Amino acid sequence: MAVRKILTIGHPILTKVAEPITEIDDEIRALAADMVETMHKAPGLGLAAPQVDVSKRLITVDPSIGENPEELLVLINPEITDQEGQVTCEEGCLSVPDVSEPVTRPTRVVVSFLDLKGVPCSVEGFDLMARALCHEIDHLNGKLFIERLSPLKRALIKKKLKKKRDKDGER
Ligand code: NI
């Protein structure tokens, strides 16, 4: 297992629609293990494969951030099959450093997926779990959470991030 580098906004893979996984082989198992380690180390409660430079439909979610193994989920080809409610909460992303903004998400989602053995599964998530699942599935569709903000707010954030990048570049 190894911690992988987390890509940040501006990297083209983050805006690409990720490919479905057709075979769960050693490479996918290693990717999943690395993603769990990378997510816990960050620390974050979710990670999507494109964030570690792999354009495949795999996400990891762990609202306990390593505290409770029962809360850790590895989801292959996840799909939202049902959702309800709406709640607006502050949200951030490991790929958009130092930004957190209110985003509206469902209060409940049902997600179908394959586990690492290829067994079809389904999980029902509420509140923070629902938010994490939606956020990570958005990544698989090439969508960062700031794409869900108003165009004005998004423009301001992009400007701020660019300024920060330019400043970091000068050092
Ligand atoms: Ni994210």
For residues 112-135, give the mean pLDDT.
97
When pLDDT is cut at 50, 70 and 90, the band that residue 164 belongs to is confident
Confidence at residue 127, expressed as pLDDT on a 0 to 100 scale: 95
Query: E strand or H helix at 101, and its extent?
Result: strand 96-105
Closest alpha carbon to 6 in 103, 68, 98, 97: 97
The environment of the single-atom ion ligand 1, i.e. residues with CB closer than 5 A, is 93
Distance 90 CA to ligand 1 centre (A): 13
Distance of CA 166 to the CA centre of its chain: 26
CA distances in angstroms from 166 to 13, 44, 122, 154, 157, listed in the order given: 21, 26, 44, 18, 14
Confidence at residue 171, expressed as pLDDT on a 0 to 100 scale: 63
pLDDT at residue 13 tops 80: yes
Q: What are phi and psi of 63, to 5 degrees?
A: -60, -20
pLDDT at residue 87 tops 80: yes
Give the largest CA-CA distance in the chain: 50
Confidence at residue 143, expressed as pLDDT on a 0 to 100 scale: 98
Distance 156 CA to ligand 1 centre (A): 19
pLDDT at residue 57 tops 90: yes
pLDDT at residue 1 tops 90: no
Distance 126 CA to ligand 1 centre (A): 18
Amino acid occupying residue 125: G
C-alpha–C-alpha distance, residues 56 and 60, integer Å? 12
Average pLDDT value for the chain: 95
C-alpha–C-alpha distance, residues 135 and 54, integer Å? 17
Global pTM reads 0.94
Active-site positions read: 136
Distance 14 CA to ligand 1 centre (A): 10
Distance 135 CA to ligand 1 centre (A): 6
For residues 83-87, give the mean pLDDT.
98
Distance 85 CA to ligand 1 centre (A): 21
Distance 137 CA to ligand 1 centre (A): 9
> Higher-confidence residue: 40 or 170?
40
For residues 56-64, give the mean pLDDT.
97
Closest alpha carbon to 93 in 35, 148, 45: 45
